Amino acid sequence: MTLQVGDLAPDFTLPNQDGIPVSLSSLQGERVVIYFYPKDQTPGCTKEACNFRDLWHHFKSNQIKVLGISKDGAPSHLKFINKYELPFVLLTDEEPCPVATSYESYGMKKFMGREYMGMMRHTFVIDTEGKIEIIYRKVKADSMANQILKDLSLD
């Protein structure tokens, strides 16, 4: 079954960079951006995180929560947040990545002729009722935040 716009977003509870559990259901009533990314401190993932950081005031002023999700653990997330002054939450979805799998954002990838299981760069906007408002399967890391604001007419 493929997730579609209008579907109820799969609920989850994952630890944040401080080890504190964060549940999607606890954010009901707020618009939430969930972005899945492969790895902290890699070039594309850093561009994507910094794009959200640089446009953070737009998300914050419109009461939009941003949650980044990767396989990296809390210590890695903390370093990433501190190094780039990221103002939003990063969550850990450890292998076998059940949350990313439920969002169809974990699977077979190819890189330099090698196949492996990994996190895909996908982004979801969840509305105030917990339903999927927008799905991005083709993400431009350096302009994802811009695209979301444009599509929500908030830029």
- In the chain, what are the domain boundaries? 13-151
Q: 3, 22, 34, 45: which is the annotated catalytic residue?
A: 45
The torsion defined by the Cα of 137, 86, 25 and 60, in degrees rounded to 10, comes to -100
DSSP for 91-140, please give it: EE--TT-HHHHHTT-EEEEEETTEEEEEE--EEEEE-TTSBEEEEESS--
50 is catalytic: no
How sure is the predictor about 59, in pLDDT bands with cuts at 50, 70 and 90? very high
Percent of the chain with pLDDT over 90: 94
pLDDT in the model for residue 1:
66
* pTM beyond cutoff 0.85: yes
pLDDT tens-digit readout, 133-149: 999 999 999 999 999 99
**The CATH number of domain 13-151 is 3.40.50.620:** no
Question: Measuring CA to CA, which residue among 117, 136, 142 is closest to residue 53?
Answer: 142
- Mean pLDDT of all residues in 108-125: 92
